[in-house]
DNA sequence: TCTGGGGTCCTAGGACCC
DNA sequence: TCTGGGGTCCTAGGACCC
């Protein structure tokens, strides 16, 4: 530690050496306990109380408030196993409410866009943004201002990691959360750069999952610091090009760009576990029809038609054997976005793979080979007359408009059935505060 | 009895072509 | 006896992310 005191001036009290002012950085803005935070924005009673949000079908824990984490409730814990514990500790419980989280995510993104257009919405609760320091404001100060503005404008607390690369920004964000500081930086020149990387287990590095981690450990790479020091060519040969890029990123060399314009989706899916398993082909047909409807609604929202359809069923087998899956993939004669056309193919596929007497846990409809709605090629195998195609398109448009205006499922295909016993459970669902008029909060003075 | 859902990318290997 | 080189496309499977 050194004091720089000029002889002409009186000795100043010690201040930490100012950190080098970077001109630019990647910032990762990560919402804290996002789903829990969303629920709390609209229900203040949940603040300061331990809170968990459950996955679809109330299956397992997918978000925990800080208080719930302090109670050692593990991420991914099956609800039925920990239910007693939660009740005993007075933990509040919510079913997931994706319409709400999606809206809140958009608000956070819009707030971040007031700082820079260089923004990648990486996931529902994370954004990468490119930042440039100004004459009056350092990168660190900018990070702090971002955190404050998002908190103030949306009610969602966020943590900000500042670094030269995305992979280091990930680690920095983790530091920011761990220390409780809200903002953390990780530049190669920083004195704690090595210590932080040494303190980051390989499993926590972005891009190293539970399969690769033990393999890295077995060749003497237990931390981010060790990976940083690995030979790049060797890593590429052993583990592939993505991991080699990761090595460079850890050294501070940007190798993953901020993707400002997300490429169009390559697949759209609707897959769900059943609340109550369908018990007959008829009941399963209803479920599949309903799943097709939902998948097609997503598809049309993205202005795409699909050329390939996959249907799969999963049984209750504990082991993931070949027997626990059944699936069919169908190349459609012509790319389409009609619910009834795809449903016809899906139901034909279902009859082929359905086995009576088997209890199915889950079904999924996946649409691939997506193309823009305009300019789908005419096919000689298309047995629909052009006039009927046009009519079908208008019908879909009308259904979407009516459903959007009057609630998601007011118009359904008859084949979806009315009873829908297989519908998933969500006993603790919060109101649709942002997407249904009757659920909007009312403030009385 | 009961453990989510929706994606992406990369690689290896085979078929096929010139 | 001997069996090239370079390329594309497709699929399955494995890994990852949140």
* Angstrom distance, A245 CA to B1 C1': 46
Dist. CA A325–CA A315, nearest whole Å: 7
For the segment A8-16, the average pLDDT, to the nearest whole number, is: 47
- Footprint on protein of nucleic strand B, Cβ below 7 A: A 55-57, 59-60, 62, 76, 78, 80-81, 240-242, 263, 265-273, 298, 316, 361-362, 364, 366, 424
* Angstrom distance, A233 CA to B17 C1': 32
Of the CA atoms within 13 Å of residue A275, those in its CB half-sphere come to 13
Query: Average pLDDT over chain A, rounded to whole?
Result: 85
The DSSP code for A56 is: G
Q: What is the largest CA-CA distance in chain A?
A: 93
How far is CA A267 from each of CA A104, A306, A370, rounded to the nearest angstrom?
24, 9, 7
Calculate the CA A358 to chain-centre distance.
32
Q: Tens of pLDDT along A231-249?
A: 998 898 888 889 999 999 9
pTM of the model: 0.85
Bases of chain B with protein Cβ within 7 A: 1-11
Q: Which SS3 state, helix, strand or coil, does residue A268 take?
A: strand
Where are the domains positioned within chain A?
24-175, 268-416
What's the confidence (pLDDT) of residue A10? 42
What's the confidence (pLDDT) of residue A176? 97
What's the confidence (pLDDT) of residue A42? 93
In CATH, A268-416 is 2.10.109.10: no
Share of chain A above pLDDT 70, in %: 84
Residue A443: which pLDDT band, with cuts at 50, 70 and 90? confident
What's the confidence (pLDDT) of residue A397? 73
Cβ neighbours of A97 (radius 10 Å): 23
- Please name the CATH architecture into which domain A24-175 falls: 2-Layer Sandwich (3.30)
Q: Tens of pLDDT along A65-105?
A: 999 999 999 998 999 899 999 999 999 999 999 889 999 99
Could you write out the DSSP letters of every residue in A147-210? HHHHHHHHS--EEEEEESSHHHHHHHHHHHHHHT-SEEE--TTSTTHHHHHHTSBGGGSTT--T
Q: Tens of pLDDT along A369-427?
A: 888 877 555 555 566 666 666 776 777 777 677 666 665 566 666 666 666 666 666 67
Protein residue nearest nucleotide B7, by CA to C1': A267
Do residues A120 and A128 lie in contact, with contact meaning Cβ atoms separated by under 8 Å? yes
Residue A25: which pLDDT band, with cuts at 50, 70 and 90? very high
* Angstrom distance, A237 CA to C6 C1': 22
Asked if pLDDT for residue A321 goes beyond 60, the answer is: no
């Amino acid at each position: 530690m050194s004091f720089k005191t000029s002889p002409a001036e009186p000795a100043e009290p010690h201040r930490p050496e100012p950190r080098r002012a970077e001109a630019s950085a990647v910032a990762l803005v990560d919402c804290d306990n996002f789903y829990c935070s969303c629920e709390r924005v609209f229900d203040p009673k949940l603040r300061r109380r331990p809170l968990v949000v459950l996955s679809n079908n109330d299956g397992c824990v997918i978000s925990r408030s800080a208080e719930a984490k302090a109670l050692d409730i593990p991420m991914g814990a099956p609800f039925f196993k920990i239910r007693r514990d939660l009740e005993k500790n007075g933990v509040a419980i919510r079913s997931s409410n994706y319409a709400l989280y999606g809206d809140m995510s958009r608000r956070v993104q819009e707030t971040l866009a007031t700082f820079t257009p260089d923004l990648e919405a990486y996931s529902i609760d994370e954004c990468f943004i490119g930042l440039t320091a100004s004459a009056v404001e350092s990168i660190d100060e900018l990070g702090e201002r971002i955190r404050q503005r998002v908190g103030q404008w949306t009610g969602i607390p966020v943590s900000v990691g500042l670094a030269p690369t995305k992979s280091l920004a990930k680690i920095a964000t983790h530091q920011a959360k761990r220390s409780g500081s809200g903002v953390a930086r990780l530049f190669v020149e920083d004195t704690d750069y090595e210590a932080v990387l040494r303190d980051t287990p390989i499993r926590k590095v972005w891009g190293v999952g539970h399969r690769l981690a033990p393999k890295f450990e077995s060749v003497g790479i237990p931390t981010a610091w060790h990976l940083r020091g690995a030979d790049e060519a060797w890593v590429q040969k052993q583990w592939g090009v993505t991991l080699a890029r990761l090595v460079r990123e850890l050294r501070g060399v940007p190798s993953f760009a901020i993707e400002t314009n997300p490429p169009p989706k390559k697949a759209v899916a609707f897959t769900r576990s059943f609340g109550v398993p369908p018990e007959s082909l008829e009941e399963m047909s209803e479920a599949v029809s309903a799943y097709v409807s939902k998948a097609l609604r997503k598809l049309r929202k993205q202005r795409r038609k699909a050329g390939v359809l996959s249907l799969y069923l999963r049984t209750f087998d504990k082991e993931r054997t070949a027997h626990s899956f059944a699936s069919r993939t169908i190349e459609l004669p012509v790319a389409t976005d009609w619910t009834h056309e795809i449903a016809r193919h899906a139901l034909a596929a279902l009859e082929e793979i359905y086995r009576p007497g088997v209890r199915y846990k889950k079904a999924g409809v996946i649409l691939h080979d997506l193309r823009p709605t305009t300019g789908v090629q005419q096919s000689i195998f298309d047995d629909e007359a052009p006039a009927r195609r046009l009519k079908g398109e208008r019908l879909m448009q009308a259904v979407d408009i009516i459903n959007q205006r009057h609630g998601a499922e007011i118009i359904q295909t008859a084949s979806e059935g009315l009873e829908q016993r297989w519908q998933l459970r969500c006993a603790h669902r919060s109101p649709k505060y942002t997407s249904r008029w009757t659920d909007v909060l009312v403030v009385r003075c």
